Structure 1
Amino acid sequence: MGEALEIAKVLVAPTTKLIEMVGQAIGTAYEPRQKRKLADATAYEISVIGEAMRNAADVPIVYDKNGVVINSEDFNRLMQRTGTRLALQEATKQLNIENIIDNAYEILEKEEKCSDDPVEQGWINRFFDSVAGISDEDLQNLWGKVLAGEIKQPNSYSLRTLDTLKNISKHEAELFQKIAPFILERNSSFFLPSSNELLEKYNIAYRDIMILDECGLINSGGFVSLNLSVSNTKPEFMYNKTKLVMVYGTKSDENVISIGEFELTRAGKELFALLDSIPNDEYVVDFADEVEKENHGSVKISIYQINSIEEAQINYQLTALHTFPINSEEK
Structure 2
Amino acid sequence: MKISPQHFPPEVKKPQAADSPKVKNQSAQAPTENVSGAMKAEAGRQRMLSWFARVGISPAMQSSDPKKQKHALERRKHILETQKASNLQAVLNIALNVTINEQTSDNLDPDWFFAFSSMAEEIYSPPMQELWGKIFAVEVARPGSFSLRTLQLLKTLTHRDAKVFNKAVNIASRRNNDAVPRILVGYHRRKGLFSLFRKPVPEQINLSTVGLSYPDLLSLQEMKLIYASEIESGEYAEGQEVSWRCNNDLMTLTCKSSGVALVYYKFTSVGSELYKLVPKSQNEAYLNQLKLVLNEVFNIR
Same fold, TM-score > 0.5, yes or no: yes
**Aligned counterparts of 2:281 and 2:173: Cα–Cα separation in 1:** 12
Q: Tell me the equivalent position of 1:309.
A: none
Q: Does 1:99 align with 2:90?
A: yes
Q: Tell me the equivalent position of 2:70.
A: 79
CA RMSD of aligned residues (A): 2.4
- Say whether the 8 Å CA contact 1:53–1:84 is kept in structure 2: no
Of 226, 230, 239, which residue of structure 2 is paired with 1:218? Answer: 226
**Aligned counterparts of 1:180 and 1:164: Cα–Cα separation in 2:** 17
Matches of residues 1-331 of structure 1 in structure 2 within 5 Å?
54=58, 56-60=60-64, 74-107=65-98, 110-111=99-100, 114-186=103-175, 187-194=178-185, 197-221=205-229, 223-232=230-239, 234-250=240-256, 255-293=258-296, 295=297, 299-302=298-301
Structure 2, gaps ≥5 residues long: 1-52, 187-203
SS at match of 2:253: strand
**Cα shift at 1:174:** 0.8
Q: Indicate the structure (1 or 2) with the bigger Cα radius of gyration.
A: 2
Q: Tell me the equivalent position of 2:24.
A: none
Instruction: Provide the aligned length of Structure 1 versus Structure 2.
Output: 231
**Aligned counterparts of 2:70 and 2:142: Cα–Cα separation in 1:** 46
Q: TM-score, normalised by structure 2?
A: 0.70
**Cα shift at 1:111:** 4.7
Change (3 A) 1:57 1:273: closer
Change (3 A) 1:50 1:250: closer
- Say whether the 8 Å CA contact 1:224–1:262 is kept in structure 2: yes
What is the percent sequence identity of the aligned residues?
A: 20
**Aligned counterparts of 2:141 and 2:101: Cα–Cα separation in 1:** 10
**Aligned counterparts of 1:50 and 1:111: Cα–Cα separation in 2:** 35
- Say whether the 8 Å CA contact 2:170–2:247 is kept in structure 1: no
Greater RCO structure (CA 8 Å; 6+ sep): 2
Structure 1, gaps ≥5 residues long: 1-48, 61-73, 303-331
Q: Tell me the equivalent position of 2:50.
A: none
**Cα shift at 1:271:** 1.0
SS at match of 2:216: helix
- Deviations 1:150-179 (CA, angstroms, capped at 9, x unpaired): 011000111111111111111111111122
Counterpart code for 2:236: S
Q: Which has the higher strand share?
A: 1
SS at match of 1:114: coil
- Say whether the 8 Å CA contact 1:100–1:140 is kept in structure 2: yes
- Say whether the 8 Å CA contact 2:242–2:253 is kept in structure 1: yes
SS at match of 1:141: helix
**Aligned counterparts of 1:209 and 1:53: Cα–Cα separation in 2:** 38
